[in-house]
């Protein structure tokens, strides 16, 4: 599979991951909302159970205490007064010898009516009957659901609709009474919800809870996922649209990023053949005389699509194993440019950066084959960075051959990598360059700045040339001069420049 296809698949995969993550978050939020709705509904139902029970006690207990034994005007008046402020009760009746003789709605009955057998009797002697189709005597042709509750000589009719079912969000709910033998008696809501709740596979879709005041009165609630999604379908469509949009955006961003990265890599790979690399020169100054004694050759990149900074293209050159082609091209073209300028004196020091990898792979010995390099009127200095360990036989042999041929070897960015005394002794270096981080730290008297006297002690001991890079202020220059540093480069003197600008700078 081609690399660009792999990158595209990676972008698709990233989009799928984001989409799946969005769906997981949506599922978590949905389940939390279902759990919350069920909890709110259960509290709503329990509140009404307790309120209806309290109303039964408030209405029927005082009536029984009156001690009436038959239904007369006094009894009816007391019953109607009790019913006046009721919220759940729609009728109160009086019973003599288990026969209904009068009600608040119809008054004294012409013929007593036998009491309907209850579904269950509470331990307190209160009997309850659920009537799915109850015909009140006042409305004989208008059946309705009702709950008949008897206490002593009185019964009452509770209407389940007083629980306000329109306030309940869950799809299925049931109020029931749990007997001592764990059987249940339905009172309100959807029959079978209790069994449905016990059999659900997803625990957060259902809840069974009982009143803390009336412990045998319980509620069962079931709110399936599908019903919740249907009830909130508009929000779900919006959420899914956002998930899809986010996934597509992520895929496009990743693809754009990968494409941009591929584009930069392709530009760097073709940069040598297309002439996109060019060279600039940063002057090296003798600190005491302020004279230009040389320059460092720095690579730059620019093509039709714009510039690419060195910290981007140098790692790519390493990745694509183009370091030697790049270095040899830079040295050839830069020497030709500099040789053409007669204003540059003989012995003018020209420094090039060399990749440690090319030392270890024995590529640098090919410098001896570059026409005109060994006979150049300039002093050629090869700066080798310390980001790879070089103390090997191959490296020693390569570097020795360069010194024997007349090149000057310099440790670049000294103190930041693998430099040690063994490198100084075995690898034929005669110059070291103090890294800019030491110079930047020098005015703050930081840890790195405290090492500069030690570095200068090594310089004197081994009789090295020392250059400090990154000098930006007169204070830094003064401290370095006092420490014994003789050469420097940095923005205080000049930034990197073209060959024509270098000529003008030297004349000034």
Burial per residue of 171-206, b for 16 or more beta-carbon CB atoms within 10 angstroms, e otherwise: bbbbbbbbeeeeebbbbbbbbebbebbeeeeeeebb
Give the Cα separation of 133 and 138 in Å (integer): 15
Domain end among 173, 189, 205: 173
Domain encompassing residue 27: 3-173
In a domain, 366, yes or no: yes
In a domain, 181, yes or no: no
Q: How many CA atoms does the CB half-sphere of 157 hold within 13 Å?
A: 25
In a domain, 262, yes or no: no
Same domain, 316 and 167: no
Domain end among 173, 196, 228: 173
In a domain, 218, yes or no: no
**pTM of the predicted model as reported, rounded to 2 decimal places:** 0.52
Could you tell me the maximum CA-CA distance found in the chain, to the nearest angstrom? 138
Same domain, 154 and 9: yes
User: What is the per-residue DSSP string for 444-479?
Assistant: GT-HHHHHHHHHHHHHHHHT-EEEEE---SHHHHHH
Considering its fold, how many domains does the chain have in total? Answer: 2
Give the Cα separation of 344 and 335 in Å (integer): 12
Domain end among 145, 173, 201: 173
Same domain, 320 and 437: yes
**What was the pLDDT predicted at 478?**
92
Give the CATH number of the domain where residue 138 resides: 3.30.450
**What was the pLDDT predicted at 4?**
46
Same domain, 431 and 312: yes
Give the CATH number of the domain where residue 488 resides: 3.20.20.450
**What was the pLDDT predicted at 6?**
55
**What was the pLDDT predicted at 351?**
95
- Closest-CA residue to 411 (of 394, 395, 423, 401): 423
**What was the pLDDT predicted at 436?**
87
The β-bridge relationship of strands 349-354 and 291-303 is parallel
**What was the pLDDT predicted at 384?**
87
Same domain, 449 and 307: yes
pLDDT tens digits, one per residue of 133-152:
766 665 666 677 788 999 99
pLDDT tens digits, one per residue of 482-506:
989 999 999 999 999 999 999 999 8
In a domain, 316, yes or no: yes
User: Which tokens hold the place of 475?
Assistant: 């204070």
- Closest-CA residue to 502 (of 278, 330, 340, 281): 281
Q: What does pLDDT average to in each consecutive run of 10 residues of the chain (508 residues)?
A: 56 83 88 92 93 93 93 93 91 92 89 89 90 67 81 91 82 91 88 89 87 93 89 87 86 76 82 91 94 95 90 91 93 91 90 90 87 87 75 77 90 67 67 87 75 84 89 92 92 93 89
In a domain, 338, yes or no: yes
**What was the pLDDT predicted at 454?**
83
**What was the pLDDT predicted at 137?**
60
Same domain, 313 and 166: no
**What was the pLDDT predicted at 27?**
85
In a domain, 162, yes or no: yes
Same domain, 149 and 295: no
pLDDT tens digits, one per residue of 284-311:
999 999 999 999 999 999 988 889 999 9
């Amino acid at each position: 599979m081609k690399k660009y296809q792999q990158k595209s698949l990676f972008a698709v995969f990233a989009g799928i991951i984001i989409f799946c993550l969005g769906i997981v978050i949506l599922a978590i939020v949905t389940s939390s909302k279902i759990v919350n709705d069920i909890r709110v509904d259960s509290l709503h139902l329990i509140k009404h159970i307790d309120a209806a029970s309290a109303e039964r006690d408030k209405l029927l207990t005082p009536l029984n205490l009156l001690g009436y034994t038959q239904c007369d005007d006094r009894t009816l008046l007391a019953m109607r007064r009790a019913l006046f402020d009721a919220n759940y009760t729609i009728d109160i009746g009086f019973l003599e010898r288990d026969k209904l003789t009068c009600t608040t709605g119809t008054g004294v009955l012409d013929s007593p009516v036998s009491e309907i057998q209850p579904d269950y009797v509470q331990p307190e002697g209160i009997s309850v009957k659920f009537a799915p189709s109850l015909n009140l005597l006042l409305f004989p042709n208008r059946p309705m659901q009702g709950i008949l509750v008897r206490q002593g000589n009185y019964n009452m009719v509770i209407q389940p609709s007083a629980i306000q079912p329109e306030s309940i969000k869950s799809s299925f709910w049931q109020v029931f009474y749990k007997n001592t033998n764990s059987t249940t008696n339905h009172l309100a809501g959807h029959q079978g919800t209790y069994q449905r709740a016990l059999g659900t596979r997803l625990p957060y879709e259902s809840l069974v809870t009982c009143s803390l005041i009336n412990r045998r009165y319980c509620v069962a609630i079931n709110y399936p996922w599908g019903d919740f999604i249907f009830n909130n379908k508009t929000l779900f469509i919006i959420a899914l649209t956002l998930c899809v949009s986010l996934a597509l955006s992520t895929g496009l961003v990743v693809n754009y990023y990968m494409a941009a990265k591929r584009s930069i890599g392709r530009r760097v790979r073709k940069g040598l053949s297309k002439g996109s690399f060019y060279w600039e020169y940063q002057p090296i100054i003798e600190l005491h005389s302020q004279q230009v004694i040389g320059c460092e050759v720095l690579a730059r990149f620019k093509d039709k699509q714009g510039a690419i900074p060195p910290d981007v293209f140098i790692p790519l050159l390493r990745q694509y194993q183009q370091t030697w082609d790049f270095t040899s091209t830079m040295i050839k073209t830069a020497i030709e440019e500099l040789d053409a300028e007669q204003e540059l004196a003989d012995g003018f020091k020209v420094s090039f950066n060399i990749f440690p990898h090319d030392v270890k792979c024995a590529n640098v010995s090919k410098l001896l084959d570059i026409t005109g390099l060994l006979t150049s009127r300039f002093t050629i200095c090869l700066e080798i960075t310390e980001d790879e360990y070089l103390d090997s036989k191959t490296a020693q042999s390569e570097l020795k051959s360069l010194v024997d041929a007349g090149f000057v070897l310099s440790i670049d960015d000294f103190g930041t990598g693998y430099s040690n005394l063994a490198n100084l002794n075995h690898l034929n270096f005669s110059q070291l360059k103090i890294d800019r981080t030491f110079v930047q730290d020098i005015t703050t008297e930081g840890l790195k700045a405290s090492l500069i006297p030690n570095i200068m002690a090594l310089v004197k001991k081994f009789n090295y040339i020392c250059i400090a890079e990154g000098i930006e202020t007169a204070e830094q220059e003064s401290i370095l001069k006092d420490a014994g540093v003789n050469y420097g480069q940095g923005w205080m003197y000049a930034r990197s420049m073209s060959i024509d600008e270098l000529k003008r700078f030297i004349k000034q």
